Amino acid sequence: MSEFLKSNNLVFNLVQEEDAKFILELRSNESLNKYLSKSVVTEDDQKKWIREYKNREIEKKEFYFRIDKKDGEQLGFVRVYDINYNENTFTWGSWIIKEGRPPYSAIESALIIYEYAFNELGMHKAVFDVRKENVGVLKFHKKFGAITLNEDELNEYFELPKEKYEEQREKKYKKYLLER
Name which residue leads in pLDDT, 158 or 95. Answer: 158
Tell me which H or E stretch contains 153: none
Cβ within 8 Å of residue 122, ≥6 positions away: 88
Q: Is the pLDDT of residue 114 over 80?
A: yes
Burial grade of 70 (CB within 10 A; 0-12, 13-18, 19 or more): exposed
Q: So what's the pLDDT on residue 139?
A: 92
Cβ within 8 Å of residue 142, ≥6 positions away: none
Q: Mean pLDDT, to the nearest integer, of 154-159?
A: 95
CATH number of 10-176: 3.40.630.30
**Angle formed at CA 48 by CA 42 and CA 54, multiple of 5 degrees:** 140
- Selection from 95, 166, 106 nearest residue 128 by Cα: 95
Give the range among 5-19, 33-47, 143-157 with minimum mean pLDDT. 33-47
pLDDT band at 137 (very low <50, low <70, confident <90, very high): confident
Give the Cα separation of 13 and 68 in Å (integer).
8
Q: So what's the pLDDT on residue 33?
A: 55
- pTM value surpassing 0.95: no
Instruction: Give the rounded percent of residues in the chain with a pLDDT score beyond 70.
Output: 89
CB 93 within 8 A of CB 158: no
Q: So what's the pLDDT on residue 3?
A: 41
Q: So what's the pLDDT on residue 149?
A: 96
Q: What is the DSSP string of 8-73?
A: SSEEEEE--GGGHHHHHHHHT-TTTSTTSPP----HHHHHHHHHHHHHHHHTTS-EEEEEEETTS-
Cβ within 8 Å of residue 120, ≥6 positions away: 1, 4
Q: So what's the pLDDT on residue 98?
A: 85
- Whole-number average pLDDT of the chain: 88
Tell me which H or E stretch contains 104: none
Strands, E, within 58-177: which ranges? Answer: 63-69, 74-84, 89-97, 125-131, 147-151, 155-161
